Amino acid sequence: MERKIILMDGAVGTTLWGIAEANGVKKEPVWKYNVEHPEFVEELTKRYLEAGCEMILANTFGANGPAVKRSSPYTAAEVVSAGVGIAKKVLDGTGVKIVLSLGPLTQLLEPYGDLEEEECAAIYDEMLDAGVGAGADMILIQTFMDLEMMRVATVEAKKYGLPVMCSMTFEKNGKTMFGNSVEDTIDTLSPLGIEAIGLNCSLGPDLALPIIKEFSEKTDLPLLFKPNAGKPILSSNGEAVSPYTAERFAEEVKPALQYVSYIGGCCGSDAEYIKEIKKML
């Protein structure tokens, strides 16, 4: 049976900053735009819809309680509900899935830091309750370096009855910054009943490829692949530009198609990059 490959979106944060800049608005934590500039988030969602994405992330990645409280008068629940609500407004009736996005916390779990497991679970629960309540269809827990924190978030997410996907971020050596290997990741997360597993961020497609290949050799779970469009480099006129053109990005993502069920891009990629992957699919 042929495996269907689902097209996901590209970067949320870097794309939103681009939209803000084009409108003369300064860079903020992007979750603030859900409340202060919902039209930017609508624009982002429309671009990915037009690019042919079948799943689009709500702008909720970093909108956890401590972060929201630190730099705004809002609550995480308000920001997350608004983010999912904007996606719903644009995507209603299109058949495109709205994905609640959960990112890692800046605090570290014990024993590395002083965040207790119960407290960590409660922070994610607030985001989940708001996002699922606002109408998310799926949950993506992504860009985690600490497998233990990923486990805590996943256990909470599974309580909501929606499909949950997990994506870690790896270094070139095939381990996360916390030293978690592909095997550790599979062993910890597979028993939790997740929909898909894989990697996003930190590496371009060339360096991420051996890692997704290793996933394919060690698990039968559907795989998710959202590499970066490379680390930005300074152009001759001093602008930060992606080392990858959209065409080159798609070309370098191509070998991963033999392994994955979910494909998209992370930092530096935008709707143009996703259109190139769509052509290839």
DSSP state of 190: G
- As a whole number, the mean pLDDT across the chain is 95
Scan for tokens 């001759």, then name that residue. 236
Which pLDDT does position 71 carry in this prediction? 95
Residues paired with residue 70 on neighbouring β-strands, in sequence order: none
Residues 6 or more apart from 64 whose CB is under 8 A from it? 76, 102, 103, 105, 123, 124, 126, 127
Q: What is the pLDDT along the chain (281 residues), one digit of tens a residue?
A: 568 999 999 999 999 999 999 999 999 999 999 999 999 999 999 999 999 999 999 999 999 999 999 999 999 999 999 999 999 999 999 999 999 999 999 999 999 999 999 999 999 999 999 999 999 999 999 999 999 999 999 999 999 999 999 999 999 999 999 999 999 999 999 999 999 999 999 899 999 999 999 999 999 999 999 999 966 666 677 766 667 899 999 999 999 999 999 999 999 899 999 999 999 99
Query: What pLDDT shows up at residue 236?
Result: 72
- Tokens standing for 134? 């606002």
Q: Which tens digits make up the pLDDT trace of 106-157?
A: 999 999 999 999 999 999 999 999 999 999 999 999 999 999 999 999 999 9
Burial of residue 100 (number of CB atoms within 10 Å: 0-12, 13-18, 19+): buried
Q: Is the peptide bond before 210 cis (omega within 30 degrees of 0)?
A: no
CA distance 44 to 57: 10
Q: Are 219 and 194 a contacting pair, CB within 8 Å?
A: no
Q: How far apart are CA 261 and CA 129, in angstroms?
A: 27
What domains, with CATH codes, occur in the chain?
6-280 (3.20.20.330)
Q: Using alpha carbons only, how large is the chain's radius of gyration in Å?
A: 18
Residue entry with tokens 């009736």? 93
Q: What is the pLDDT of residue 242?
A: 62
- Give the per-residue pLDDT at 198: 98
What's the CA gap between 228 and 249, in Å, rounded? 9
Quote the pLDDT of residue 3.
80
**What local confidence, expressed as pLDDT, does residue 230 receive?**
64
204, 193, 228, 199: which is closest to 215 by C-alpha?
A: 199
With beta carbons less than 8 A apart as the criterion, state whether 76 and 68 touch.
yes
